[in-house]
Chain A
Amino acid sequence: MDSRRGGPATGTSVVSTAPVTRCEELVVVIPAHNEEDALGGTLVALERQALAPGHVVVVADNCDDDTGQVALRHGVQVIATEANRDRKAGALNQALGRLAARRPTYVLVLDADTRLAPDFVAKAIATLESDSRIGAVSGLFVGDRPRSLLEQLQANEYARYRTQILTTGRVAVVTGTASVFRFEALCEVAARRGSLLPGTLGDVYDRSAITEDSELTLALRALGWRLASRPECECTTELMPTWGDLHHQRVRWYKGMLDNLRSYGLSRVTAPYVAQQLMIGVGIVTIALLTLLTAAAVASGTFAVQAFWLAVASVFVVNRIVTVWSVGPRGRLIALAVLPEIGYDTALQVAFVRAALRALTRRDVTWNHVALARDRPAADQPPRPAGALCPGSARGSHPGIRYDARDRAGRTRCTS
Chain B
Amino acid sequence: MYELNTAQLGTLAATGASVAQAWVGAWTLFVAGLAAVAVARVAVRRRALMTTERPDTWPGAAAGPVGRRRWRAGPARRTRTRWSKRSAPPSVEQRRALGSPPS
Question: What is A's interface to B at a CB cutoff of 8 Å?
Answer: 14-15, 17-19, 50-51, 117-119, 122-123, 126-127, 130-131, 134, 163-169, 228-232, 282-283, 286, 289-290, 292-293, 296, 309, 312, 315-316, 318-319, 322-323, 325
Contacts and interface: CB of A to CB of B under 8 A. Distances in A.
| Most B C-beta atoms less than 10 A away, residue of A164, A166, A167, A232 | A167
Nearest to A134: B63
Contacts of B32: 312, 315-316
B45 interface: yes
Chain B binding surface SS class: helix
B10 interface: no
B80 interface: no
| Most B C-beta atoms less than 10 A away, residue of A126, A134, A296 | A126
Interface string B22-33: 011001110110
A134 B45 CA distance: 23
Nearest to A296: B17
Contacts, number: 109
A285 B98 CA distance: 47
| Most A C-beta atoms less than 10 A away, residue of B27, B57, B65, B90 | B57
B17 A232 contact: no
B78 interface: no
B96 to A, nearest CB: 8
B24 A14 contact: no
B62 interface: yes
Given A130-B62, A169-B65, A289-B24, A319 B36 contact: yes
Contacts of A323: 38-39, 42
B7 interface: no
Contact of B66 (A50, A231, A282, A318): A231
Interface in B58-82: 59-63, 65-69
B40 to A, nearest CB: 9
A325 B97 CA distance: 27
Contact of A15 (B23, B42, B90): B90
Contacts of B17: 293, 296
B28 A127 contact: no
Contacts of B36: 315, 319
B98 A50 contact: yes
A100 B29 CA distance: 52
Contacts of B38: 163-164, 167, 319, 322-323
A231 B68 contact: yes
Contact of A282 (B21, B27, B42): B27
A228 B90 contact: no
A292 B16 CA distance: 13
Contacts of B23: 286, 289
B31 A50 contact: no
A167 B98 contact: no
A316 B24 contact: no
B60 A166 contact: no
A119 B66 contact: no
5 contacts: A119-B98, A123-B98, A229-B66, A231-B68, A293-B20
A154 B58 CA distance: 33
B34 to A, nearest CB: 9
Nearest to A226: B63
A15 B24 contact: no
